[in-house]
Amino acid sequence: MLDLSTVRSVLSDEYDLAPSATLANEMQDIYARMDRVVSPPDWAIYAPYVRAINVLKKQRNAVILGHNYMTPEIFHGVSDFVGDSLQLAMKASEVEEDVIVQAGVHFMAETSKILSPQKIVLMPDMQAGCSLAESITAEGIDEMRVKYPGAPVVSYVNTTAEVKAGSDICCTSSNAVQIVNAMDSDTVIMTPDQYLAQNVANESHKNVVYWPGSCIVHEQYTPQDLREFREWNPGTRLIAHPECPPDVVAEADFSGSTSGIIKYVHDEKPERAMLITECSMASNIADELPEVDFVGPCNMCPYMKKITLEKILFVLHTMEGQVEVAEDVAVKARKSVQAMIDLSRKLGL
């Protein structure tokens, strides 16, 4: 486990990371992407880290892949490429730099390593897991195959490399319906997210059977929350991620992956919107959509929030936190992930 006092003592020996209003002022161009959600005193704290990371990543020939759930100072300040799980996986398969820093959770870093085994993949905090990835093991996949003989296994990318290796193909929330529909079988096994599977089943002609996992961020919402919110705030557009339970998705005006949500808000520009997903989503698009008032409660992902500027700088400096996947597992897992990427490209997703 990362010891923060060690991290701080290593960094303070090498870098001047004291809050600086002068530096914050010099870096106004970056701050302008997040000034609606990050206060000037907070920016004065972040600016020295952002500068140090951006200098160091060039020296290391590194690229930072940031998921849409990263906090704004990571998302806008240091990420070279941002996106949803599918976009990040596609990008990881084509990066030219020697080092990938995964500003996201562990399964995303493993996916990057599976797709780019010759690269160094750095995880700023190995404890940044995922309740979905932890809900199933390779034995769980075997159990499902025994229960539903002959049915293909479609596993969410939110799984370990071993689970991907035991699956036929992967999916993400932006291609799950299309991937399931493309399977050559009436019954399709989906793991590990029961709610994503039920939402896919509602849009697909397949008999979808599923594993009972769930996301601790999205399972907390209830249809009652959405009904009450609508009653108190008429006219608010409710936009839900498909990891939410189906009765929550049914109450929403739109459901989509994190990039689907961003596209919807850009296209529709509702006066007021509530994003029924992780908190950073609204923060990251608030500046580019000044006409939209983002309101309402949101839920934090404690795993995503383990990633900080300080830890990104530390792993780039020390090159600690390298993600490894055993070759025999990686070979099989790559087939499942690559099958998803190839099918997504073919379908123009």
Binding mask 94-113 for ligand SF4 (x = CB under 6 A): -----------x--------
> Which residue, 333, 307, 312, is CA-closest to 112?
333
Q: Is 301 among the annotated ligand-binding positions?
A: yes
- Complete DSSP assignment for 208-277: EEE--B--TTTTT--HHHHHHHHHHSTTPEEEE-TTS-HHHHHHSSEE--HHHHHHHHHHH--SEEEEES
Q: Single out the residue of 87, 155, 158, 255 in contact with ligand SF4 (rule: CB under 6 A).
A: 158
62 binds, among ligand SF4, ligand 13P, none (CB under 5 to 8 A by kind): none
Please tell me whether 323 is known to bind a ligand. no
Note whether 219 binds ligand SF4 by CB under 6 A. no
Q: How far is the CB of 97 from ligand 13P (least distance, A)?
A: 22
**CB-nearer residue toward ligand 13P: 52 or 103:** 103
193: which 2 tokens?
């997210």
Please identify, using beta-carbon distances, which residue of 53 and 130 lies nearer to ligand SF4: 130
Nearest to 217 by CA among 259, 187, 248: 248
For residue 8, give every residue at least 6 positions away whose Cβ sits within 8 Å of its Cβ, in sequence order, or none. 310
Q: Is 122 exposed, middle or buried (0-12, 13-18, 19+ CB in 10 A)?
A: buried
317 labeled binding residue = no
How many residues interact with ligand SF4 (rule CB under 6 A)? 13
Binding site for ligand 13P (CB under 6 A): 68, 84-86, 130, 158, 172-174, 215, 243, 257-258
Distance between CA atoms of 34 and 278, rounded to whole angstroms? Answer: 17
Residue 172: name its binding partner from ligand SF4, ligand 13P, none (Cβ under 5 to 8 Å by kind).
ligand 13P
Give the number of residues written for the chain: 349
Identify any residues that bridge with 271 across adjacent strands, giving them in sequence order. none
Residues that constitute the known binding site for iminosuccinate: 67, 85, 156-158, 173, 241-243, 258
Residues that constitute the known binding site: 67, 85, 130, 156-158, 173, 215, 241-243, 258, 301
Binding residues (CB under 6 A) for ligand SF4: these are 105, 130-132, 158, 215-217, 243, 278, 301, 303-304
